[in-house]
Amino acid sequence: MTYVLINKSAAEKIVNFDSYDMATDTRMFRTSATENCEAIKIPAGSESFLLPPMSVSTFVLSGGEYNNHPPTIENVKDTILIGTPDSLAIVLRGISDGDTDKDQDLEVTASFDNPAVIDRISLSAYTGTDSAQLVLYFDKGVSGETITTVLLTENDTANTNGFMPVTRMSFSTWLINYVNQPPYFNELDTAYIKLSKGQQAITLTGVTGGNEEVEEELDVEFWAVHDRYFDFDSLIYEQGDSNIYIWVTPKRLGAAIARVSITDNGETIFGDNYFEDEFFIKVMDSGVSTDDLQNPRITLFPNPADQSLKLSNVADYERYSVFSLSGRKIEAGLISGDALYLDTESYPAGIYYIKLTAADRPVIYKFMVSH
3-state SS class at 195: helix
Closest CA to 222 of 354, 356, 326: 326
Residues 197-224 have pLDDT tens digits of 889 999 998 898 887 767 788 999 999 8
- What order do you get walking across the sheet with 41-43 strand by strand? 41-43, 26-31, 13-21, 49-51
Asked, colleague to colleague, whether 79-176 and 190-284 share their fold, the answer is yes
Mean pLDDT, the chain, whole residue set:
78
Class of domain 190-284: mainly beta
The span from the CA of 107 to the CA of 129, in Å, is 12
Long-range contacts from 38-45, C-beta under 8 angstroms, 24+ separation? 38/5, 38/6, 38/8, 40/3, 40/4, 40/5, 42/3, 43/1, 43/67, 44/17, 44/20, 44/161, 44/162, 44/163, 45/17, 45/161, 45/162
Residue 343: its pLDDT value, please? 95
For domain 299-369, give the CATH number: 2.60.40.3080
What residues form DSSP beta bridges with 154? 106
- What order do you get walking across the sheet with 106-112 strand by strand? 79-82, 166-176, 144-154, 106-112
CA 277 to chain centre: 19
User: Where along the chain do its domains lie?
Assistant: 2-62, 79-176, 190-284, 299-369
Contact criterion met (CB below 8 Å) for 95 and 132: yes
Q: Phi, psi at residue 247, to the nearest 5°?
A: -95, 125
Highest-confidence segment of 63-67, 201-205, 313-317:
201-205
Peptide bond into 52 cis (omega under 30): no
Q: Does domain 79-176 have CATH number 2.60.40.10?
A: yes
Written as one letter, the residue type at 344 is: T
Residues 146-158 have pLDDT tens digits of 999 999 888 765 5
Half-sphere CA count of 49, side-chain side, radius 13 A? 24
Residues 286-311 have pLDDT tens digits of 554 444 434 446 888 898 899 999 99
Closest CA to 303 of 262, 344, 355: 344
Residue 66: its pLDDT value, please? 53
Residue 40: its pLDDT value, please? 43
**190 against 30, higher pLDDT:** 190
End-to-end CA separation in angstroms for the chain = 102
